[in-house]
Structure 1
Amino acid sequence: MDRSISVSITYILCQAGLILFMYPTNIIGSTTESQWMPILLGVLVHFLMVWVLLMGLGAFPNQDMIAIFRQHGRGVAILLLTPVFAYLFMGGVIAVRSYAEIVTIIFLSETPSWAIMTLLLTLATYLASKGIESILRTGVIMFLLFIPLLCFILVASFQNADWRYIHPFFSKDFSFLKSMSYFNSYFAIGGVFVLFGFLQPIVTFTKKSIFLSSLCIVPVFFVSVYVPILTFGQDTSSQFIFPFVIAVDAVNLTWFMFDRLTMFFLLSIVIFILIFLSLVLWMLVILLKRSVCQRVSSTYVLLGLSVCVLTLCFFIPDWNAIDTLFTWNTPLRFFVLIIVPVSVFLLGIRAKRKESV
């Protein structure tokens, strides 16, 4: 059954959750002017890799990425899927620990982080246990509930904008290409689209719907960075760990019935990340079940993964350690972002040539 709308909506939610969190910090930290340049480059890379992956998958109807690699040899499957597993697992750990940190900092300062991490992972584990169809349906419901609110917050966040901070708009400085902060920003760019390689044949979707959803996300990349810059300026924004959150917290709407938009903003983002975590856990279970845990129940595999993720989160003491994990994850991030889609694409070309012979 075609689930293009559900897949596109869930993709938008997960991308928004990742972009509005650490992405502004990474981009602002990578350059002091013309921030649109690193943003645009990342967006172009994102579109290119999504196109490459979808074109490659199109050559293998009703096959997921695991089946594609396995039919080309056990060695190929191990070489390409092991980094994917490591990246997803590490991404899950980073997401749980970092989002628990921001919830603690912003409005649950008296609640221990372990309790927030346990709650986040428990909810994500429960949703993942229900399967991909339930995750997609939940994504649609959350979209209807929270996206209108999020769009309102994004528009309202320009209340304190000083457009003079946008200058200089053009720059010949490409030093951001040497910045680790910029490479860390690709956590938001390449964190979700690998999902497309796991859906077929369980869920089908059209390429057009994915590209349209990608276009819907593009403004969020720019808004998340330029709102704090236009509100506080480059120098001040670079001092914040969560510049976009601080910019939203500075919005004062006298006619709004609630005092702070920040609470609703963070509620939306946490919900989106729960969807993302459930997808990560579901993909990890699929990888393990198709490789080393064929005879083990999916429930036990999922519970084991969740316990491992939570245990590792307990060993991450502070934000500096989280930032270090972002850096350590960089090689895996670019492997999944570039090597995996290109591999699927090249295998697809090879398969089409064999069919034409």
Structure 2
Amino acid sequence: MKNPSAFTGYEMLAIQMLFSGAAAGFIYPSFLIRSTEGAYWIPIAVWTAGALLSSWLYSRMLARLEGRKLVSAIRSSVGLVWTSVLFLPVILFLIGALIVMLRAYSEIITMTMLPTTPISFLNGMLLSSAALALAGIMPIIRAARVFFLMASLFTLALLIIGFSDVNWTLGTPWFRTNGDFLLDNRFYAGSFLWMGFAITSLIGPYTMQSARGAWRSYALALICALPMIAGYVYLPVLTFGRDLSQRLTFPFVTKMDTIYHYWIIFDNLTAIFVSVTMLYVLLIMALKLHALGDTVKTLMPKAKNGFIYLGLFIVVYAAATFLPSWRELEHVIILTVGIRLYIMFIFPLLGMAALIVAQRRGGKGRES
């Protein structure tokens, strides 16, 4: 019998790479650059280790599902009330992540391409992601296969071009840090970049074999994404220096706007970057919406899918539209660090404990 799984190894690799592309290019460089005066690759390495630990905890939890979905398995283990308590921070996290991603992309379009277009109109792009999420996981996976190949090639080309006019001395110190980032809340605010495995864990059934395969694919995707993440952080610093980069709202986007070579066919590389990132953003918003809708459906089985996704669309769209400013959005990201740390490290431990207790009770019941 074939082991059920949410994704194949390649599909997991593609989705996690798309997740990194959607989350790393806008807010993350600003948070990281402002969080330390030392080498930037060190906090990146620390978060990489944290992401591997978090995903390993999730894989251990998923290995106990025995072909079931995570939410339904925990519900059958501890009941609806405790499952709702356990998953409430997860639901809040997913809603917040959608709001941040949607508003961030709308802001970047306003700043770079369509300065007179209302945010309320640009936020309407969520509708396409909602339609894709409502269609199910297979359309998302098929889109991920295509988007991954297209977006990765364009992103790689942009990064290579970006390194053509940098000053390497501006990146110092390269190997020194005093650990100041560990005391800066902006370092922890960047945790959203490292949570891709937590989202895919909510979708589809898993077995012990498929959970291990998913973790290996995630680890490979994380290693492959590190050069892209480092490029998003270091390219602005190597161009503008540390002080100026810390003052920029979107350092990498500003970097793209400064590139000019006579041999480049396209004049506006920023527009190309924003257009390519749309592929990342639309699909990852669809993935998050699907994970959120699937979770709500399991907790409220009598609710119709159409009404669930319509309600989620209205909540996310309204919140993203009525946020007063970009600085307020950054403030919200910093304030919700605790929820994301709970999702990364505490939730898989609690979920694993619930599944272990249920399995032991089941074993005792069969013995008696």
Q: Give the Cα–Cα distance (whole angstroms) in 2 for the partners of residues 218 and 181 of structure 1.
A: 19
Give the secondary-structure state (helix, strand or coil) at the position aligned to 1:238.
helix
- Correspondence 1:111 to 2:121: no
1:213 counterpart residue number: 221
Structure 2 Cα separation of the partners of residues 306 and 63 of structure 1 = 27
Greater mean alpha carbon deviation, residues 72-81 or residues 44-53: 72-81
What is the TM-score normalised by the length of structure 1? Answer: 0.93
CA deviations over 1:130-167 (Å, ceiling 9, x no partner): 11110111111111222111111111111121111222
Q: Is 1:285 matched with 2:290?
A: no
Instruction: Check whether the contact 2:78–2:354 (CA below 8 A) recurs between aligned residues.
Output: no
Question: Aligned partners of 1:26 and 1:60: how far apart in 2?
Answer: 36
| CA offsets 1:67-100 (integer angstroms, 9 cap, x no match) | 2321331344123211000110111112111211
Cα gap change, 1:217 to 1:172, in 2 (>3 Å): closer
Segments of structure 2 that go 5 or more residues without pairing to the other structure are: none
Asked if 1:60 is matched to 2:68, the reply is no
Q: Which of 171, 194, 199 is the equivalent residue of 2:198? A: 194
The 3-state SS of whatever aligns with 1:168 is coil
Aligned to 1:150: 155
- Indicate which of 276, 291, 299 corresponds to 1:268: 276
Q: Give the CA deviation at 1:199.
A: 2.5
Checking the alignment, whether the CA contact within 8 Å between 1:26 and 1:182 is kept in structure 2 is: yes
Name the CA distance, whole Å, in 1 between partners of 2:41 and 2:12.
28
Q: Distance in 1 between matches of 2:18 and 2:319?
A: 26
Partner residue in 2 for 1:78: 84
Give me the identity figure in percent. Answer: 25
Q: 1:253 corresponds to which residue?
A: 261
Residue of structure 1 equivalent to 2:49: 44
Q: Work out whether residues 20 and 224 of structure 1, in 8 Å CA contact, stay in contact via their aligned partners in 2.
A: yes
Question: How many equivalent residue pairs?
Answer: 354
In structure 1, how many angstroms separate the alpha carbons of the residues matched to 2:187 and 2:56? 22
Contact 2:106 2:122 in 1 (8 A): yes
Offset from partner CA, 1:228-279 (integer Å, 9 cap, x none): 1111111111110000111122221321211021111111112201111111
Tell me, in whole angstroms, the C-alpha distance in 2 between the residues paired with 1:100 and 1:286. Answer: 26
The answer to whether the aligner puts 1:163 opposite 2:168 as a matched pair is yes
Matched, 1:8 2:16: no
Structure 1: distance between partners of 2:182 and 2:84 = 31
Residue 61 (structure 1) shift: 2.3
Deviations 1:187-245, CA, capped at 9 Å, x for gaps: 2122x221232233289672332222222112222221111111111111111000011
Per the TM alignment, residue 303 of structure 1 is displaced from its structure 2 partner at its CA by 1.0
CA distance in 1, matches of 2:350, 2:276: 35
Q: CA deviation at 1:353?
A: 7.0
Aligned to 1:35: 40
Q: How far is 1:304 from its partner?
A: 1.3
Q: Per the alignment, in what secondary structure is the counterpart of residue 90 of structure 2?
A: helix
Choose which of 313, 325, 334 in structure 1 pairs with 2:320: 313
Q: TM-score, normalised by structure 2?
A: 0.90
Taking structure 1 as reference, are residues 351 and 154 closer, same or farther at Cα in structure 2, changes over 3 Å only?
A: farther
Contact in 2 for aligned 1:184/1:326 (Cα 8 Å):
yes
Q: Which residue number in structure 2 is paired with residue 98 of structure 1? A: 104
Report the RMSD for the aligned CA atoms in angstroms.
Answer: 2.1
* Conserved? CA contact 1:12–1:213, under 8 Å: yes
Instruction: Give the Cα separation in 1 of the matches to 2:57 and 2:355.
Output: 10
Name the amino acid aligned to 2:10. I
Matching residue of 2:350: 343
Amino acid at match of 1:338: F
Could you tell me how far apart the structure 2 residues matched to 1:72 and 1:351 are? 5
Indicate the residue corresponding to 1:241 in structure 2: 249
- Conserved in 2, the CA contact under 8 Å of 1:57 and 1:348? no
Deviation of 1:347 (Å): 4.8
1:295 is paired with a residue whose SS is coil
Aligned pair 1:184/2:192, yes or no?
Answer: no
Is the Cα–Cα contact under 8 Å of residues 56 and 349 in structure 1 kept in the other structure? no
C-alpha contact (below 8 Å) 2:100/2:329 kept by paired residues: yes
Partners in 2 of 1:304 and 1:59 — Cα distance? 32
- CA shift, 1:349, in A, is 5.8
Equivalent residue letter for 2:75:
R
Equivalent position of 1:88 in the other structure: 94
Determine if contact 1:56/1:347 at 8 Å carries over to the other structure.
Answer: no
What letter is aligned with 2:308?
V
